[in-house]
Amino acid sequence: MNAYVRKFCAGALPVLLTVVSGSLWAFDHAHTAWERLLQRHVTWLADDAASQVDYGGFAMSGGELDAYLDALSAVPEATFSAWSQEQRLAFLINAYNAFTVQLVLTRYPDLQSIKELGSFFSSPWKKRFFVLLDAQRSLDDVEHGMIREPGAYDEPRIHFAVNCASIGCPALRPEAFRADRLESQLEDGARRFLSDKTRNRYNSETDALEVSKIFRWYGEDFEPAYGSVRGYLARYASLLGDTDAARRRIRSQETKLRFLAYDWDLNDVPPISRTHRSKTLP
């Protein structure tokens, strides 16, 4: 190797390593900044099946939230495509939840429901108000166009992970989704949601599974792996049924399905709790 080649390689190698590391490894797949925010501003309720969000606390942490959202927006499509499937899915779930918080904060505290951020002609989920993977996106683009795209992930449990800022929605977890624990987080989210008798239960008097409208809106997502919504719910008979007879009926997959009213009120911490939390936070 002559002197010119050695000099070229010596200069090019650091640049090459910088490019490679910047495109593949620079992003924090532990989502540490988002996890810190969630740990401070999201709390499980007493039954550990639902959570409440301190949007006021998020507003006071606006700089930290903005920095995390900027980090999400800075990831190019090419970099994203090189990640593992678990890394990509965790990224998209966290992005959906974090940008949802940002959307709520645009009108908070003068907001009773996220639906107020929409109009007669357009829902709040169709607003293209952020950049993700080199394009202007809406929350619907992320959930339906990317996460639910047939063949991309085919994971119905994402419906217990993405959070619509509403009481009727499965809980926003007080931790970030991560590739290395994604399976356990998705399963835990499903079990917590299905154990909540206010949103999913078996009625022995009517022989009906009374469940969240999520199963009506997205029932087709459960069919490929489980055959039907009833087939999926049968796996969780021990959570949905209070007696052996009830559990047997649920496992039979012969019960009626009835869909409960969906509560679109904001999943906010009540004012009294918010005041108490503000005094105890560092």
Higher pLDDT, 272 or 19: 272
Say whether both 33 and 155 belong to one domain: yes
Say whether both 98 and 225 belong to one domain: no
- Whole-number pLDDT of residue 277: 41
Per-residue pLDDT of 96-113, as tens digits, reads 999 999 999 999 999 999
Say whether both 89 and 121 belong to one domain: yes
What is the spatial distance between Cα 74 and Cα 96, in angstroms, rounded to a whole number? 15
Both structure tokens of 174: 């007080």
**Contact call for residues 140 and 56 (beta carbons, < 8 A):** no
Say whether both 64 and 105 belong to one domain: yes
Selection from 130, 119, 101, 120 nearest residue 266 by Cα: 101
pLDDT classification of 172: cutoffs 50, 70, 90 = very high
251 domain residue, yes or no: yes
What total number of domains does the chain contain?
2
Selection from 34, 149, 152, 160 nearest residue 99 by Cα: 34
**Per-residue H/E/C for 173-184:** CCCCCCHHHHHH
> Is a pLDDT exceeding 60 seen at residue 33?
yes
181-198 average pLDDT score: 98
User: Would you call the peptide bond into 174 cis, given omega within 30 degrees of 0 as the criterion?
Assistant: no
21 domain residue, yes or no: no
- Whole-number pLDDT of residue 276: 39
**AA letter at 89:** L
127 domain residue, yes or no: yes
Domain of residue 68, residue span: 28-197+267-276
Which range, of 22-26, 113-117, 204-208, averages the lowest pLDDT?
22-26
Say whether both 78 and 131 belong to one domain: yes
SS3 call for 208 = strand
- Whole-number pLDDT of residue 176: 98
Per-residue pLDDT of 133-157, as tens digits, reads 999 999 999 999 999 999 999 999 9
